[in-house]
A and B are shown apart, each in its own frame.
Chain A
Amino acid sequence: MQIYLPIAEISVNILVILGMGGAVGFLSGMFGVGGGFLMTPLLIFSGIPPAVAIATEANQIVASSVSGALAQWRRGNVDVLMGTVLLAGGIVGSFFGVQLVKILRQLGHVDLIISLSYVTFLGIIGSLMLVESLNAIRKLRAGGSPSSRRPGQHNWIHGLPYKLRFHRSKLYISAIPPLIIGFFVGILAAVMGVGGGFIMVPAMIYLLRVPTNVVVGTSLFQIVFVTALVTVLHATENQTVDVVLALLLMIGGVIGAQFGVKAGQKLKGEQMRAILAIMVLGVCLRLGLDLVIEPSELYSLTLFTGGL
């Protein structure tokens, strides 16, 4: 069954899009990750213009993170002050990122930058995850228990000014590091169509040393608002949010995630992380090859939208 996407301006099979949403939803439910970093490349591979893929994916993440954020909020797992500081940075980053996308579109480099960002981030994260999970598997085989890494010493962070008291996290640190982290995540949300949890969660744990029980809730709190803002900004500045595509992905994603959560409870964490790492590296490789291999058509056309 075909449906014509009004903004992406292509005709797609409804079942294929629902299936893609379902598959990525399944993985995100199983691994407890956002899924944006897999969904956007899949959309690009299936012919959706990259600028539409990132903006639409930001819209979908609002749906997939809002219920999680609310559940965490009810359990009191959100450090509101920390979340607000991260959000303040995220708001500035979103404006910056969306303007960047707008300029890159006019210059004709937006597809390239989106692909390059993905190759870089997927490459780094996939490799780290693979190494970490292989080490964990090896340790398990040797009979030891998987030990959690101790946070490193980052005393320089405690020397920064503008300190705030984050009661829920039991921290008294400068507002500058969370502002910068939030800003960076805001740019990533705008340019890559991801929630940015894969950067924010480790940064909060290892850099800021936020207690793990509030990390997920606080990052989801920031993600909901930042992706909502990114959606509105992309819609306003670039007209690239395809609400029909987003709704199809939401439906598939929500259903897939339910099954993913159940499947995830039955599998071993280390093996699962290794599988996810290999998938991430596979997507990275495919995007990378597309950049390096000579395209069959060197020319491309875009509609002139004014304001070069």
Chain B
Amino acid sequence: MARSTPRQMLLMACLLVIAALSSVAPAKGQGVISDLSKRDVPIEWNFTGTQILIFGAIEASADDKSIADVIIVVTGPRRTILARRKSRVAGIWINTVTMPFKKVPGYYSIVSSRPLAKIASNITLAQLGIGLDALAHHLAIENDTPNATNLGIFSKAVIRILRNEGLYREEPDGVKIIDKSLFRATIGLPANVPVGEFHADIYLFRDGSLVSAQSQPLHIEKQGLERFVYTLAFEYPMLYGIVAVMLAVLAGLAASAVFKRD
């Protein structure tokens, strides 16, 4: 945090206010208070990805020596996808095996204050469904044919591909904890982020066990021209096609009219 813009200064001021409020509030348990820099992300024609700041305060613990950790999981809308594997058939590479996966998050970002393995045990994380390994396991369980061979390889491939597309992310040091009481993290949303209802789950761990959790909604939606085109294409597809043809005819006629003059 060497560079601090006026905007960041403002955010820090907000964080301090929240921290002040939280210390005044009755200390029932070791809770977490959080908020997002924006809850509605519009995708317009020039959208090239954006960042969301998640920040908040951790309530002070009675035991001053305990280590507090924060894990933030942002999950996008879940869809059914088909995973396909290519094999060489008669010299060319052809999709030969298809496996459907249900409830696959279109986006999954996990940021934490330390590497996950240092925050809690694998069993704890798996029970909470935190982490890409837990997600791969979950995808395999949701499959209709849980005993299919290669299921593990396929679910890992799903995660690998979405990771390469920037839709699945892991940042083991993405959450900054300031003075044991404030935390902040930036979540990157790439240009290809799916639209729909997202949620950010903020988990507070102390000495390896979960003490508090909070879920915050996040809404990503196409806006303006982007929304108009998309809605027309999927809800009124024939009208969309006719409009596309009319635009092409107009463009062609306009072009010949313009270039005929010279």
Please say whether chains A and B are actual partners in one complex.
yes
Pairwise interchain contact B251-A300, C-beta atoms closer than 8 A: no
CA distance A65 to B82 in the complex (A): 38
Is B48 on the interface with A (CB-CB < 8 A)? yes
- Whether A301 touches B243, Cβ cut-off 8 Å, given contacts A11-B192, A108-B82, A243-B229, is no
Question: Which residues of B have CB within 8 Å of A60?
Answer: 248
Which single member of A4, A303, A304 contacts B47 (CB below 8 Å)?
A4
Q: How many positions in chain B have a CB within 8 Å of any CB in the partner chain?
A: 56
Report A48-76 residues with CB < 8 Å from chain B CB.
59-60, 62-67, 70-71
Chain B's closest residue to A3 (CB) is: B45
A299 touches B161 (CB 8 A): yes
Residues of chain A within 8 A of B51, CB atoms compared: none
Instruction: Flag if B229 contacts A2 (CB, 8 Å).
Output: no
CA distance A10 to B191 in the complex (A): 7
- Which of A4, A59, A304 lies at the interface centre, i.e. has the most chain B CB atoms within 10 A of its CB? A4
**Alpha-carbon separation in the docked complex, A70 to B254 (Å):** 12
- Chain B hits for A59, CB < 8 A: 244-245, 248
The distance in angstroms between the C-alpha atoms of A247 and B249, with both chains bound, is 11
Complex formed: what's the CA distance from A11 to B160 in Å?
21
Q: Which residues of A contact B256 (CB under 8 A)?
A: 67, 70-71
From A153-161, A180-188, A192-200, A227-235, give the one contacting chain B. Answer: A227-235
Chain A contributes a number of interface residues (CB within 8 A of B) equal to 53
Proximity string of chain B (78-122) to chain A, C-beta cutoff 8 Å, 1 when within and 0 when not: 011111111110011111001010000000000000000000000
Q: Which residue of A lies closest to B102 (CB)?
A: A304
B244 CB contact (under 8 Å) in A9, A243, A291: A243
Given A67-B255, A70-B253, A233-B241, A300–B91 Cβ distance below 8 Å?
Answer: no
B93 close to A243 (CB less than 8 A) = no
CB-based contact B84/A302 at 8 Å: yes
Residue among B80, B230, B242, B255 facing the most chain A CB atoms (10 A cut-off): B255
The 4 closest A-B pairs by CB, nearest first: A235-B241, A67-B256, A232-B241, A66-B252
Q: Contact residues of A with B, CB < 8 Å?
A: 1-4, 6-7, 9-11, 59-60, 62-67, 70-71, 108-109, 112, 116, 228, 231-237, 239, 241, 243-244, 246-247, 250-251, 254, 258, 291-292, 294-295, 297-304
Q: A2-B46, A4-B44, A299-B160 are in contact. List 8 more A-B contacts (CB 8 A).
A: A6-B222, A11-B47, A231-B241, A250-B252, A295-B93, A299-B157, A301-B158, A304-B100
* 15 cross-chain CB contacts under 8 A: A4-B226, A59-B244, A63-B249, A67-B253, A232-B241, A235-B244, A239-B233, A241-B233, A243-B244, A297-B164, A298-B87, A298-B93, A300-B83, A300-B84, A301-B83
